[in-house]
Amino acid sequence: MPDNKVWNNRNLNSLVLAATLLGICVGAAAWFASQHAIAQSAWAAGTAVALLPLTISVVRTLASGRAGVDIIALLAMAGALALHQYLAGAVIALMLAGGQALEEFAGALARRELSALVARSPRVVHRYEGGQLASPPIEDVRPGDLLMVKPGEVVPVDGVVEDASATLDESALTGEAGAVLHAHGEQVSSGTLNAGVGPFRMRATATAAESTYAGIIRLVEQAQASKAPLVRLADRYAMLFLPLTLAVAAFAWWLSGDPVRALAVLVVATPCPLILAAPVAVVSGISRAARRGIVVKGGGALETLARGRILVLDKTGTVTEGAPVLTNIELFDSFNPDELLRLAASLDMVSPHVLARPIIKAAHDRGLELEFPRDVAEQLGAGIQGYVNGRHVTLGKSDWVLQGQPAPPQVRRLRRRTMLEGCSSVFVAIDGVPAGALILEDPIRADAPLTLRALRRVGFQKIVMLTGDHADVAKVVGAVLGADRVFAERTPAEKVEAVRAAHEGGVTVMVGDGINDAPALAAADVGVAMGARGATASSEAADVVLIVDRLDRLIEAVRIARRSRNIAVQSIVAGMALSAAGMALATAGWLPPVAGAVLQEVIDVLVILNALRALGPARSVAAKDSARADVGQQFRAEHKELLPGVKRIRHIADQLETLPPETACAELHSLHTFLTKELLPHEESEDASVYPVVARLIGGDDPTATMSRAHMEIAHLVRVFGRALEDLPPEGPAHEDLRELRGILYGLYAILRLHFAQEDESYLALIDV
């Protein structure tokens, strides 16, 4: 089964297949009509038609310095002609041409997901021009153009929604079925489908060539054009098989003195299974991955990913959400929190720091009016200072803000707390006086710990986390994830060095999301870009791109890669074993050339069918249940909504002793309202909706008993908290009351954080798809 352009030309192969089939049919008809001479001539002609392109293929292979396994097929067909075994030669020719046709069919079947991605590229665009709707070429769309997307049409370019809302089917990008509602001003990506009942307007933010879907198509084309090392692995198997076959054929000839018996050995040893199995299994795996929102740039990446042993992870945007949010404003004096945020955000308007954007966004969300700063000076890695509305504002690290002054007790406490919690703090001074701090958090992805544990189970021996972030924050995140080593405050060049050093321990897989990760992705054995959607430097440097921004797709990619490689090797070994058994029968004289050719064709079909198993999920993978997934997504969303309130429990407990009695009472009653009106109904709903689903999946007697017990303990603590509030004297809490309340709140905070983490990592992940 040659692998060069002559034999692989589809038209030529179709002609060879037709000619050999015609030769066999004409020969059979002539044979039954007792025209044996005509029959032999027809079969010989069919053999010769297939032998010519095969000879050219072998000559070219030998000229390139390689001994292709198609030499066995060439010897078998030439031997059949020389020994007047014309029917055997014709059957071998039909087997080769038919096998090539089967390979083309299997390849097309395996590539259907990739082909579907390319086929649904946006082609139609409706643009408003002078108040009228026109349909220009999609290449003419420019950022700022106002477009309309009709129902059922594909979004042509990246943009933002101009109408009140838009309902989109994003399954082509994410692999997840179901409509997603986008509100006014939200970003929409090209390649998604308008699933609403009416059209919607959008404002283009990129050209077609720069949009999400165009980047994905470029990645897909790279994936389709590449050749897998597994094909070379098949060649290595086959090169061991070639001398064995020739030796067995020579032994059969010597043993029997009959060259026909040697021919029978060559016929049954024709290595179609070796050549067919690897590419079909690899392309099937690539297609399976594409169906799940994972673009693999060819078989090389798939095969190497399957052998990964060392995992290197970027922190920000990979194991964390990548979008820091302002979670709290700490005040050191009686400064107004909104005014503190307004001044800090105004100064940050001219800062390129990664934390400037979430601070500005928080100010906008609160409706604060910002003013452009003047006389701004920024020191990289320390902070920024300038004047806003006549006031001198300094923000950054505590040492920068304090300007050599001793750190007040509240500053020291805050630094310790943020270090323990893995948060970032931006200290603020107004007119030289420390006024407060802005607390920002980049939450760890809910699926990150579960994914990393799953990767360890499938064979990853070491997990390393790389980040440019501060060491204190990085160590906290690394400890939560169970990373073996954490490298903090690393530049892109230092990340490359760390990846190369990790390579000494085995095949290295690097996962990142940002432009600064691109060099490290390129340096790794396999680079995986997170949620890049084909439009960033990281996706260009990566070998695998997770289109959907979910880390748990990484374990899916690894499982698909390993299953595809295993199936390819199984097919190769099984084909060789069956051929070896046939060779033994042929050596003993129990398998004539014609029967051997038919047997080899049966082996071909079995090998291809086995390789196509890589298209489907493993048996252990449960069928997709959209209703079950909806439950998981609903409660994940509720956890995100409740988490700020849960964190507020800790914040109020920390501040109790410093708050005036009236303020303390108001904060405590507000917190009790949150617990009784929002948190407890959520817990009750989980008991009724989530836990029964989880129990069915796990099986056994009451598998969710421990988590239900946690719900009971949470409810008990809320009742105790409520009773303590009822017993407070009218003038406010006394010192003894504060100590009791603080103990209740710390206990409630601890159990809630642990309980939420356990549910996110175990139960909700189990029912999510």
Q: H or E stretch including 325? A: strand 325-331
Q: Which among 52, 110, 82, 137 has a CA at the least distance from the CA of 283?
A: 110
Q: Which among 546, 545, 498 has a CA at the least distance from the CA of 524?
A: 498
Q: Note the pLDDT tens digit of each residue in 491-521.
A: 777 888 888 898 888 899 999 876 567 778 8
Residue 589 has pLDDT above 60, yes or no: yes
Q: Note the pLDDT tens digit of each residue in 89-117.
A: 888 787 777 666 655 664 555 455 556 66
Helices in 64-184 by DSSP H: which ranges? 70-82, 86-110, 112-119, 171-174
When pLDDT is cut at 50, 70 and 90, the band that residue 280 belongs to is: confident
Q: Give SS3 for 541.
A: helix
How far apart CA 245 and CA 243 sit, in angstroms, is: 5
Q: H or E stretch including 193? A: strand 193-194
Task: Average the pLDDT over 565-580 and give the result.
Answer: 82
Q: Report pLDDT for 234.
A: 55
Q: Report pLDDT for 127.
A: 93
* Mode of pairing for the β-strands spanning 462-466 and 485-487: parallel
φ and ψ of 292, to 5 deg: -105, 15
How far apart CA 603 and CA 587 sit, in angstroms, is: 19
Q: Report pLDDT for 186.
A: 84
Residue with the bigger pLDDT between 343 and 731: it is 343
Q: What residues are paired with 182 via a beta bridge?
A: 166
Q: Report pLDDT for 535.
A: 40
Task: Average the pLDDT over 41-70 and give the result.
Answer: 79
Q: Give SS3 for 529.
A: strand
Q: Are 188 and 168 in contact (CB under 8 A)?
A: yes
How far apart CA 18 and CA 46 sit, in angstroms, is: 9
φ and ψ of 250, to 5 deg: -65, -40
* Mode of pairing for the β-strands spanning 200-204 and 146-149: antiparallel
Q: Are 187 and 150 in contact (CB under 8 A)?
A: no
Mean pLDDT of the chain: 79
- Amino acid identity of residue 10, one-letter, is R
When pLDDT is cut at 50, 70 and 90, the band that residue 564 belongs to is: confident
Q: Report pLDDT for 201.
A: 94
Q: What residues are paired with 154 via a beta bridge?
A: 193
Q: H or E stretch including 585? A: helix 552-587
Q: Report pLDDT for 468.
A: 75
How far apart CA 119 and CA 250 sit, in angstroms, is: 52
When pLDDT is cut at 50, 70 and 90, the band that residue 676 belongs to is: very high
φ and ψ of 153, to 5 deg: -90, 155
Residues whose CB is less than 8 angstroms from the CB of residue 326 and which lie 6 or more positions away in sequence, other chains included: 341, 358, 359, 361, 362, 438, 439, 440
Q: Note the pLDDT tens digit of each residue in 221-242.
A: 654 454 445 445 555 666 677 7
Q: In what order do the strands lie in the sheet with 146-149?
A: 132-134, 126-129, 146-149, 200-204, 159-161, 187-188
Residue 173 has pLDDT above 70, yes or no: no
Q: Are 555 and 455 in contact (CB under 8 A)?
A: yes
Tokens of 747: 């206990």
When pLDDT is cut at 50, 70 and 90, the band that residue 202 belongs to is: very high
How far apart CA 237 and CA 254 sit, in angstroms, is: 26
How far apart CA 587 and CA 265 sit, in angstroms, is: 6
Which residue's entry shows tokens 């899916």? 556
Chain centroid, CA 4 distance in Å? 33
Reduced 3-state DSSP string for 398-451: HHHHHCCCCCCHHHHHHHHHHHHHCCEEEEEEECCEEEEEEEEECCECCCHHHH
Q: In this structure, how many other beta carbons lie within 10 angstroms of the beta carbon of residue 152?
A: 11
How far apart CA 524 and CA 312 sit, in angstroms, is: 9
Q: How many CA atoms lie within 13 A of 285 on its CB side?
A: 33
Q: Report pLDDT for 622.
A: 42
How far apart CA 305 and CA 460 sit, in angstroms, is: 11
Q: Report pLDDT for 408.
A: 78
Sort 441 into a burial class: Cβ within 10 Å, 0-12 / 13-18 / 19+: buried
Q: Are 319 and 478 in contact (CB under 8 A)?
A: no
Q: Are 312 and 510 in contact (CB under 8 A)?
A: yes
| 212-216, 369-373, 445-449, 572-576: segment of lowest average pLDDT | 212-216
Q: Are 394 and 373 in contact (CB under 8 A)?
A: no
Q: Which residues of 652-676 are buried (b: 16+ CB within 10 A; e: fewer)?
A: bbbebeebebeebbebbeebbebbe
Q: Note the pLDDT tens digit of each residue in 645-655.
A: 888 888 888 87
How far apart CA 749 and CA 170 sit, in angstroms, is: 37
When pLDDT is cut at 50, 70 and 90, the band that residue 5 belongs to is: very low
How far apart CA 441 and CA 418 sit, in angstroms, is: 9
* DSSP state, residue 154: B
Q: Report pLDDT for 7.
A: 41
Task: Average the pLDDT over 262-276 and give the result.
Answer: 73
- Amino acid identity of residue 368, one-letter, is L
* Mode of pairing for the β-strands spanning 424-430 and 433-441: antiparallel
Q: Report pLDDT for 275.
A: 61
Residue 680 has pLDDT above 60, yes or no: yes
Q: Which among 156, 167, 168 has a CA at the least distance from the CA of 205?
A: 156
Q: Note the pLDDT tens digit of each residue in 458-489.
A: 889 999 998 877 777 788 888 888 889 998 87
| 130-134, 292-296, 723-727: segment of lowest average pLDDT | 292-296
Q: Report pLDDT for 200.
A: 94
How far apart CA 244 and CA 71 sit, in angstroms, is: 13
Q: Report pLDDT for 228.
A: 44
Catalytic residue set = 314
Q: In this structure, how many other beta carbons lie within 10 angstroms of the beta carbon of residue 716?
A: 11
φ and ψ of 392, to 5 deg: -85, 120
How far apart CA 713 and CA 706 sit, in angstroms, is: 11
Q: Are 638 and 690 in contact (CB under 8 A)?
A: no
Residues whose CB is less than 8 angstroms from the CB of residue 602 and which lie 6 or more positions away in sequence, other chains included: none
Rg of the chain over Cα atoms, rounded to whole angstroms, equals: 34
Q: Note the pLDDT tens digit of each residue in 421-462.
A: 777 788 998 988 888 889 888 888 877 888 888 888 888 999
Residue with the bigger pLDDT between 334 and 716: it is 716
Q: Note the pLDDT tens digit of each residue in 75-94.
A: 888 888 888 888 888 887 87
Tokens of 349: 């308007």
Q: Which among 739, 678, 689 has a CA at the least distance from the CA of 714?
A: 678
Left, alpha or beta for 375 (phi > 0: left; psi -120 to 50: alpha)? left
Q: Which among 526, 501, 516, 159 has a CA at the least distance from the CA of 317?
A: 516
Residues whose CB is less than 8 angstroms from the CB of residue 686 and which lie 6 or more positions away in sequence, other chains included: 635, 711, 759
Q: Which among 75, 81, 92 has a CA at the least distance from the CA of 24?
A: 92
Q: In what order do the strands lie in the sheet with 165-169?
A: 179-183, 165-169, 193-194
**What angle separates helix 448-457 from helix 471-481, to the nearest 10 degrees?**
60
Q: Are 695 and 688 in contact (CB under 8 A)?
A: no
Q: Note the pLDDT tens digit of each residue in 137-159.
A: 888 999 999 999 998 888 999 89
How far apart CA 471 and CA 253 sit, in angstroms, is: 73
Q: Are 470 and 448 in contact (CB under 8 A)?
A: no
How far apart CA 386 and CA 392 sit, in angstroms, is: 6
0.75 surpassed by pTM: no
